[in-house]
Structure 1
Amino acid sequence: MKNFILISFLIFGKSFSQNYMITYSKSSNGKTIENQDVLMIFTNANHTLITTNNIISKKTEFPFEQNLVVKNSNEYIQIASLNDKKIIQTKDSISLNKQSFEYLPDTKKILGYVCKKAKTTINSNTIELWYTNDLKLNAAPTILGQNLGLVLEMTRNGNYSIIATKIEKTKSFPKLNLNSSESLDLVTYRDALLKSRFTTIKIFKDQIINFSEDSISNDTILRFANGTIALRKMKFPVIKKGSQIFADITEQSNGDAYDRTGSFFIIPTLTSISFLDGLKKGKAALPIYTNGNGKEYQGVVATQNYTPIVEMIRFFTPFGIKHYNTIQLKDKNWQDNVYYRQDISDLRNLLNNQEVYVGIFIGNYDKGGHKVSANITIHTEEELQSKETKILPLFCTNNVMEMAGQEYGTMFNVDKGLEVKFKLDQTLKNCKLRYIVTGHGGWENGDEFVPKKNSIYLDGKENFSFTPWRQDCGSYRLSNPASGNFSNGLSSSDYSRANWCPGTVTNPIYIDLGNLEVGTHTIQVKIPQGLPEGNSFSSWNVSGVLIGE
C-alpha cells in the first residue's frame, strides 16, 4: 500500500513560514564524539524534520532514517531508505501526546537564548532537556520534547549529550520523496529497517536432519550419513575488516525425543584432502590418527594434506522441543523452539570472499529427527579496529560422521591423548587456541556427568588446564518437554554436565599460546577418560583452531 502525504512545501522544497536549521553535536562523558554524522533539524511553525548532514549532502550509505513531525496533527512519521533503495514509513499519532515531564526551576543560556530545564525517565534512563521559548517554536533533535519549545540540549544519564551548536534561518526544507514510500505498522517497519542494516546469508531453512535411508540430496542441499548431515556450498561476500559475524540456528524436534550433539561447521578446502572426501567416498578416504590404544580415528587431526572441519557452533538439542509439547506438567509452558546464536567473527578469514561448504549435523537415529534453520549474519563495524589474522584448523574429534561409522573421540584413555603437529612458515604473534570441549557417555560414572581436568600442552610443556563443567542446566527446563523425571524430583535435563546442557551452545574458550616461531610445533590434549561401564563408554568432543596475528 502506498501512502500519499500532501505536504507540498516538503515535496517542492518551499515553505510559507520562516524555516530554521539547527545543528547539533553529540558528546560522551564530556568529549565530542569523533567522526560523527552531524545531527540537524529543519523546523518551522508547521513541521520538523530530523536528519543528518550526510543525508542532506547525499554522502550517507543505505540504509538511513529521517523523522518528520507534523505539528497540527501531532504526528510523528519515521521514514527509512533501505539498502535496495526502497522507502518505507510508519506513522505514530500517540507518542507525542503521551510524553510527560518534571519541570525544574533551573535556567541557563545556550547560543544566547534563555533555556528552561525539564526532566523525564524513559526505560530507566534519566533524560534532561534544556529548551527555549524565545523563538516561539517547538522542535527537538529526537521525538522527545517536541512540544516543550525549541530543545537545544539533551543529556541522558549524565554522560551522553546532544547540544545545539548553530541556529540559522533557511529558505527551504530538504526534499522528501514521501509519496512513493510504503506505509507499514511500527513493528514491521522496525524489523525491515533493522534487517536492512546487516547482511543475512540464509544457509538452511526448515531442513530435516534425521536418520533414514530415504534421505536424498537435491540441487542445493547435499545429504550424508543417512540424513544426519546437511551440506551446502556457499559463496560469501567480501567481509570488511572489523565486521562482526554471527551464526544462528533455530531447532525443533521432528520426532526425536532425546538430547543430541549438533555442530554447525565449515569444511576448509585448503589442502588436497578435505572432510568432503570422507562424506562422498566414506570414512576410509580420511587420514587415520592412532595413539597406541588399538583404535583408528578418521579425519580428526590436521596433516600435511588434510584440514579438519571447523566448528562455528557446537550445540545440543533439548529433549523433544515442540514435537513433545503435548506432555503436560503443572506450571510448565514449553518453548516452541530453541535458538542458538554465537559470535564467529574470529573465523572471518575462512569466509571472507570465499566459496566454502557449510554443514550442519545432529547425531540421531530417529526417522523424524529434527528441523533446523541456520543463518550467518554480517554486521559492518567501520570503526572497530582489528588486526589481520591467520587461521589454522588443527583438530576436531566431534564425529559428525557418527552415523556413517566415524569413530568416537575415545583417544584419551592413554597418556598420549590427542596430539597434532603443525608447521609454520612464518612467525605468528599473540596466538590463541580456539578450543571447544564437551564430555559424553557413561551413566552414573561416565564422563558426561563427572568433572574431568583438560590439559593442553604446547611443544611438550603444559600450557593450560581447566575443568569444563556446566551447573546451570536446570535453567533450560522449559525447552525439554520429553526429559525424564526421576524419583528425587529432578529431571534429566537438570543435571550438570561436562560443559554442555540440553538446549544450549557450548562456547569456545581461548587459550593464550604466545608468539610461535617458524618451524614445527606440537599441541597435545590430555583428559583422564573414564573406564567403560558395561556397554557404555565415555568420549570427548574437542576441536581446536589456531588463530595468530
Structure 2
Amino acid sequence: MKKISTIALCFFAIASFGQANYKITYTKSSNGKIIENQDPVIVFSNSNQTLISSKSILENKATYPYEFSLIDRSTNAINQVAKLKVDKQISTLDSTSLAKQTFELLEGEKKILGYSCKKAKTIINSNTIELWYTNALNIKGAPSVLGQNLGLVLETNRNGNYIVTATKIEKVKQFPEAIDNNKSKKPLDLLTYRDELWKSRFTTIPVFKEEIINFSDASKSNDSILRFANGTIILRKVRIPAIAKGSQVFLDVTEQSNGDAYDRTGSVFLIPMQKQTSFLDGLQNGVKTLPMYDNGNGKLYQGIVASSTYSPLLELIRFFTPFGIKQYNTITLKDKTWEERVSYRQDISELTSALSDQEIYLGTFIGNYDKGGHKVSVNLTIHPEEEVLIAKPTAVIPLFNTNNVMEMAGQEYGTLFNSEKGLEVTFTLDKDLKNARIRYITTGHGGWENGDEFVPKRNSIYLNGTEVFHFTPWREDCGSYRLYNPASGNFPNGLSSSDYSRSNWCPGTMTNPVYIDLGDLKAGTHTIQVKIPQGANEGTSFSSWNVSGVLLGN
C-alpha cells in the first residue's frame, strides 16, 4: 500500500486493532454525469480515527503535490499532510475548525447503499452544500473535512450540480500501512501550510525582485541584471522550462515609487533573437544601429518594424505607474488611505511558443527622469491544466512596436501617425497561417489637454490595403484608482489628475490587448498598416502613440 507519513505511524497503530474499520469509496459527478478519469476519494474510518485520501495516493500513483487528512476523534483535530515533491512534505495541525462547523438539520430521509441517511445543510462562500449522513455504522467520516462530526457522510451536494457519493462500503482488517522515510518537519501554522501547498501547484520563475528603474549615470549593470538608457531599462537572461500543452502562463508586476511622483509608461518585453539583428544590438551599441523606419514625415524611427533581418520587441505587458505610490503616501487627505503598491497581472498564455524551453532576454522599462525612480518586481508563473481548454497559437510573430523604450537613450517618440502612411510593415509567411489575428496594444500620449492623451482618436488597421478593423481606444474608469495615486494633483473643479479619462490607459493600470481577426492567411507577402489621426503640435507639446502588434496563428 501507499506509504503515508511518520506523523500517521502512531495514529494507525492505535486505529487498526480492536476496532471495526471501514473503507468507503466515493465517486464524483458534475451536472448529472459521472466525471471521467477521476481519482476516487477513499476514506478509512473507525470510532477513533478517520483518514481522507484517494485511490491514486493509496496506489502510489498520485502526482505531486497531493494531500491527505487525518482526523483524531479524541481531540477533534485535523492533521493535514501534503507531499509537495518526492523529498518535501509539510503538515499542519488544525484543532479548531471542526468545532466551528455549523449545520442546519433538515427533515427528509433517503437510502444510500442500503443505509438510511439524514440531511444537513450549510452555506460556505455563497455555496449551498447539502450532506446526507448515516449513524448506522457508529462511525464518523466524510469525503472532505466538512461534516466530519455529523456521522458517516455518504453524499455531499454542492449547489445541486457537483455531487460526491459513496459507491462502496467495505469492512477491512486495518488501515493502510503507515511507513515513510521522508519525515515531516515541525507542523506549520495553517496559513503558511496553505500558502506553501498553493505555490507548489504551479511554477514560479523570478525575473526581477525589487529592482530600481531610474534615471542616473550611476546605474550600472552587474552579473545578472543589465541596465541601459541611464537605468530606465533593466534586462535579464532567463531560462524558461518546457511548458506543457494547455498550461496557463501569467506575468506579475509590482511597482512602488522610489522617488518619482509622476505617472509613467512601463512595459515588460521579450527581445526576439532569431534574426540577424536584434533590439539588444541597439541597447549595447546605440539606438542608431537599429533599422530605421521612414514614412515620409521627415523623421526616422529606430527599431519599430519587422523586416527579413530584424524583429521588434515582443511586448508582454503595457502598464502605467500611478502618481507616487508608496513614496508619497505621507500626503494626507481626509478619508483617503493610500495603497502601498500597485500590482499588474496578465495572462500571456497565447505567447507560450515564444517562451517555452528557451533562454530569453526579458526586460522592463519605465520612462522617467528621476534619480530615485521606481522599484519593480516581475515574476512569470506557469500553471498546468488537466485538459487543454483553448489551443494556443503556434506562431508568434512580432510585427511592430512604437513604444520608445530607449527614450532616455535617444529613441524617437511614436509621432509617425501625423503622416497619411502612418505605420506600415510588410512580412512574408513561409506557409499558410490559420486563424491569424493581431494582438494589438495601443495608447495615446502627450499634447497636454488638447493632445491625443486626452482626446479620443480612431485607430484603423488595414490588411493588404483593406480596412479590417477600427476602434477608438479610451478609458473612462480612471477615477476608480484614486487611492493608488497619492501625488495626483487636485484641481479647482474637484477632480484629480488621475481621475481624467485617457486614450486607453489610467495611472496605475495595465492596457489590455485588442485582438484583430485576419482569418486564414496564405503563404507569401502581406502588409499591415495602422492609421491614427494624430493631433498637430502645439508649441513645444506634441502627441504620440505607442502601438505594438504581434501576429498570432497556427
In the superposition, the TM-score normalised over structure 2's length comes to 0.97
1:282 aligns with 286
Question: How far is the alpha carbon of 1:11 from its aligned partner?
Answer: 6.1
1:420 aligns with 425
1:381 aligns with 385
Q: 1:266 to 1:179 in 2, by over 3 A?
A: closer
Q: Deviations over 1:413-460 (max 9, x none)?
A: 011100000000100111110000000001111000011100010010
SS at match of 1:194: helix
Query: How many residue pairs are counted as aligned between the two chains?
Result: 547
Match status 1:308 vs 2:322: no
**Aligned partner (choices 150, 154, 159) of residue 156 of structure 2:** 154
> How do 1:261-410 residues align onto structure 2 when only pairs under 5 Å count?
261-385=265-389, 386-387=391-392, 389-410=394-415
SS at match of 1:182: coil
SS at match of 1:543: strand
Q: 1:362 to 1:48 in 2, by over 3 A?
A: same
Paired with 2:525 and 2:157, the residues of 1 have a C-alpha distance of 57
Unaligned runs of 5+ in 2: none
Q: Deviations over 1:183-235 (max 9, x none)?
A: 11111111100111100000001100000011100000000000000000011
Q: Deviations over 1:224-270 (max 9, x none)?
A: 00000000001110100110000001100000000000001100101
> How do 1:80-159 residues align onto structure 2 when only pairs under 5 Å count?
80-83=82-85, 85-159=87-161
1:62 aligns with 64
SS at match of 1:478: helix
**Aligned partner (choices 473, 478, 483) of residue 478 of structure 1:** 483
Q: Which piece of structure 1 moves more, 3-12 or 159-168?
A: 3-12
**Aligned partner (choices 530, 534, 546) of residue 541 of structure 1:** 546
**Aligned partner (choices 221, 225, 231) of residue 227 of structure 1:** 231
Paired with 1:70 and 1:244, the residues of 2 have a C-alpha distance of 38
Q: 1:142 to 1:164 in 2, by over 3 A?
A: same
1:208 aligns with 212
Paired with 1:12 and 1:283, the residues of 2 have a C-alpha distance of 74
In the superposition, the TM-score normalised over structure 1's length comes to 0.98
Q: 1:146 to 1:221 in 2, by over 3 A?
A: same
Paired with 1:387 and 1:315, the residues of 2 have a C-alpha distance of 24
Match status 1:192 vs 2:235: no
Question: How far is the alpha carbon of 1:516 from its aligned partner?
Answer: 0.2
Paired with 1:376 and 1:448, the residues of 2 have a C-alpha distance of 31
SS at match of 1:214: coil
Question: How far is the alpha carbon of 1:12 from its aligned partner?
Answer: 9.2
2:535 aligns with 530
Question: Which residue identity is paired with 1:97?
Answer: A
Kindly indicate whether the alpha-carbon contact (under 8 Å) linking 2:89 and 2:183 is maintained by their aligned counterparts in 1.
no
Q: 1:74 to 1:474 in 2, by over 3 A?
A: same
Paired with 1:33 and 1:284, the residues of 2 have a C-alpha distance of 60
Unaligned runs of 5+ in 1: none
SS at match of 2:194: helix
Kindly indicate whether the alpha-carbon contact (under 8 Å) linking 1:316 and 1:502 is maintained by their aligned counterparts in 2.
yes
Q: Which piece of structure 1 moves more, 68-77 or 360-369?
A: 68-77
Question: How far is the alpha carbon of 1:312 from its aligned partner?
Answer: 0.8
Q: Deviations over 1:116-140 (max 9, x none)?
A: 1111111211110001111111111
Match status 1:450 vs 2:452: no
Question: Which residue identity is paired with 2:313?
Answer: I
Paired with 1:79 and 1:327, the residues of 2 have a C-alpha distance of 47
